[in-house]
Chains A and B, each alone.
Chain A
């Protein structure tokens, strides 16, 4: 790893690593060491060898490759760095002082009960309030309500085994017991298949017509993707482009996650090309396995700028791949709603459940549908006027 012909593998790799880290690739000392080791086996003076040694060690996905290629070109050919257009989504953060009012200085019993009552009814109102009409303070309260949220998929039998009291004989444990007991078969152990939650795929429409809901729905997606108890959740946004934001949502703090999402999604409040983007999703992710056997939830109002027939075709494809397709339309919660948006009309025949998603209660309802309850049997959503 010493200087070779005036060029030093360590220097080259460290320089490259810094530039990559600045471009957002996860470059740790272990990867730098790995790249140095790889380059030491190759020719430091060869641009192609430096390129491959770095690419093999610093990248972990095709998306990384795009960034790597850009950084490498900048660094080694003096090309101008590509400036990414900054997105224009604002993250609302509110200090956590709102809910604490009324319960702070103890006081008399009656006072406290009344305060509790007020808080409870406030929560109840919040549960049913349309996201589009919420104030910043209410959104903060919503955040806390969402934090406790999980979105496990419907359960299905898995191939893993677990000990059960009835069912098939477990040869491993039975024979182990026989061996322990000196050859006497005194007890038969049984086993059965465990169940696992199905993967859940959330597709959030972030186009202009959905902008009053985008923030709340993405926060919902954040809470849902941090679910406990196994099972995967994948989250995508749709607008004029398809963006996978599962990684951005994987941090714990909702505001940090929202900032990461804002930086990753290039098409806030643009138009909608649902059909084309759904095809993109199915080609690049869905058909490979992301949508297979999954519960796919589309959160959109169904306003389609392009040909609705394409959306219909892609929805049919999705319905064949997925275990269940749920369409959540926040506008469904409005009084007098009728599914007239052309895209929605084309999509609905291929949708298993059509629900709203405009309030916390509606999202709770959605979660129950995702876990496998019938949309009709879990009861309708109470409508609350915007001024309630």
Chain B
């Protein structure tokens, strides 16, 4: 891949991972050193970022934050089983082609019909092609593990050259490769060849202080005491061996719910009423209710 530019997609004024982390914090995304370094290198060297981690740790949010920092549109490709080129890359607009054909018959202009029918204007750009044609752009390939492996091979081809060949039209290459974030929930192993094209980063659950910071950034209307209580309770829930341990997304949801009810701190009655925001299984809810939430919060807050 030719490196035409020295800066890649980095926004002006950013020349270190820490600088990028500051910009991300301005759009309310707190990245740790590893993630900031990964994103910095990814933007500078035009490498896709491959993010794995539990659900709700902020993989998809990263792409949104990058789009905000770069002031670029976020183009999202949600993967699912059976996804293929006509849904991910491009498709021909058949109804319009037919209309054009009919119109050409009526007016009698049929000389270059074949070439006209397969013109760029009849091509519908799906997310991958749209990302190649937009500069700058952030391309989010979400939950790639849901797609099947044929799709991976095809993705590999697009991501290695940042170009697409349409048989009827020729090759469409990106002027500047988009910033690419690929996420996976690890329901299966994605092929090594695809990972090798990317920087691989595992996003884990944040520590207590970072979680408080993140939630405060995301839910500014919540009282600090409440946020600390929620972070402590969520951390305790994670240690409980639940079926679905709450992620940072659930902590934010819960805080939002509590703040909306006007809570200043986490009391057991309110916690029980809003538990649906943070645990998503009946068994988990039973266990959470069996825990003495107030004692737990007190202990956790005292400990920090």
Contacts and interface: CB of A to CB of B under 8 A. Distances in A.
A183 to B, nearest CB: 5
Contact of B38 (A56, A62, A234): A56
A192 to B, nearest CB: 13
Contacts of B188: 199, 232, 234, 289-290
A56 B196 contact: no
B37 A52 contact: yes
Interface in B266-302: none
A246 B189 CA distance: 10
Interface stretch (B96-104, B131-139, B169-177, B224-232): B96-104
A42 interface: yes
Contacts of B33: 48, 52
Interface in B4-44: 17, 33-34, 37-38, 40-41, 44
A277 to B, nearest CB: 13
Contacts of B80: 159
Interface in A22-36: 26, 30-31, 34
B244 interface: yes
A175 to B, nearest CB: 4
A53 interface: yes
B187 A59 contact: no
B38 A52 contact: yes
Nearest to A291: B187
A61 B244 CA distance: 21
Contacts of A175: 94-95, 97-98
Interface string B35-77: 0011011001100000010000000000000000000000000
B40 to A, nearest CB: 8
Contacts of B17: 42, 52
Interface string A151-173: 00000001111000000000110
A227 interface: no
B187 A56 contact: no
B203 to A, nearest CB: 11
- Classify chain A's interface size: 35 or more
B199 A38 contact: yes
A59 B202 CA distance: 10
Contacts of A179: 94, 97-98, 101, 117
B152 to A, nearest CB: 13
A287 B280 CA distance: 13
B185 interface: yes
Given A41-B44, A158-B81, A175-B97, A183 B52 contact: no
B243 A317 contact: yes
B94 A53 contact: no
Given A38-B45, A183-B105, A289-B188, A65 B94 contact: no
B111 interface: no
A226 to B, nearest CB: 15
Interface string B81-123: 1111010000000110110011001000000000001000000
B202 A53 contact: no
A60 B202 CA distance: 9
A59 B200 CA distance: 7
A211 interface: no
Q: Which of B37, B44, B86 has the most CB of A within 10 A?
A: B37
B191 to A, nearest CB: 10
Contacts of A41: 40-41, 44-45
B243 A287 contact: yes
Interface string B195-236: 110011110000000000000000000000000000000000
Nearest to A286: B187
Nearest to A194: B82
A288 B45 contact: no
A366 B269 CA distance: 52
Contacts of A199: 188
Contact of B41 (A56, A59, A279): A56
Contacts of B94: 171-172, 175-176, 179
Nearest to A246: B189
A282 B187 CA distance: 11
Nearest to B118: A179
A49 B37 contact: yes
A368 interface: no
Nearest to B104: A183
B257 to A, nearest CB: 24
B201 A160 contact: no
A366 B40 CA distance: 51
Interface in A187-242: 199, 232, 234
Contacts of A49: 37
Interface in A288-307: 288-290, 292
Nearest to B191: A60
B250 interface: no
Interface string A241-282: 000001100000000000000000000000000000001001
Contact of B201 (A26, A34, A56, A172): A56
A262 B88 CA distance: 42
23 contacts: A26-B192, A38-B41, A42-B41, A49-B37, A52-B17, A52-B38, A56-B34, A56-B38, A60-B192, A65-B202, A159-B81, A160-B82, A171-B94, A175-B95, A175-B98, A179-B94, A183-B98, A234-B188, A279-B241, A283-B241, A288-B187, A290-B187, A292-B187
Given A34-B196, A288-B187, 15 more contacts: A42-B37, A48-B33, A52-B38, A53-B37, A60-B192, A160-B84, A171-B94, A175-B95, A175-B97, A183-B98, A199-B188, A279-B241, A289-B145, A290-B188, A317-B243
5 tightest A-B contacts by CB?
A289-B187, A159-B82, A175-B94, A52-B37, A56-B199
Interface of B: 17, 33-34, 37-38, 40-41, 44-45, 52, 80-84, 86, 94-95, 97-98, 101-102, 105, 117, 145, 185-189, 192, 195-196, 199-202, 241, 243-244
